[in-house]
Amino acid sequence: MFLLSGKHGTTDRCCLWTPGIFAARLFEVRSLLMRSASVRVVAALALCGSWSLTACAQSPLGPVTGEVSFHTRSADLGLGYTWGNGVLTYGGRTYPFSVKGASAAAVGYSSGDSVGKVYNLQRIEDFQGTFWALSGEATVGRGVSGVLMENDNGVRIRLDYTRSGARFAASPSRLTVHLLKPAKTLTDATHSAPAAH
């Protein structure tokens, strides 16, 4: 039993703390702290839900920093050659670019439009350079999705959709990107686009 002294050395009966009372008070304090922690966890989960699952659980590729679209042609017979043009959308601006490259052990011809997401692009100058496909390609009819490419600056492009002819590449391909004219803002690009008839 714990005795707490009152005024003039007397013992205040309301301040008698037995081991049972002490344990009960400790349990109440512990329960209060646990409830407070639970409230914080629930609030964090609700906030995560408002940001969407992709914002709270980041993709292994990291955040999307740009978008790309381009048109290419590839002619292959043993050693392939690829050429074309595209547009990068990054930081509220559009950047036209040319692409050219080659692939080994490829047979066939393909031509079509590709679109994709750009990851880990911190500076526009890092987009230039040679991108290597991290896997081979097998394309027939409507095309193939999920082709992943990376350059020496660590910039990655994931092609979500491409429509081509008939082509098979057994080894990684490479595309060299070269930026062309000065960038345009998205507003300028919209105004300069030809009107649809």
CA 140, CA 163: separation in Å to the nearest integer? 9
Nearest to 91 by CA among 183, 159, 177: 183
Name the burial class of residue 164, with classes exposed (0-12), middle (13-18) and buried (19+) by CB atoms within 10 angstroms of its CB: buried
Mean pLDDT by 10 residues, the chain (197 residues): 48 54 60 51 42 46 91 75 91 94 68 87 95 65 65 89 58 80 65 47
Q: What pLDDT does residue 68 have?
A: 95
Residue 122: phi and psi, rounded to 5, are -100, -30
Q: What pLDDT does residue 72 have?
A: 81
Name the burial class of residue 128, with classes exposed (0-12), middle (13-18) and buried (19+) by CB atoms within 10 angstroms of its CB: middle
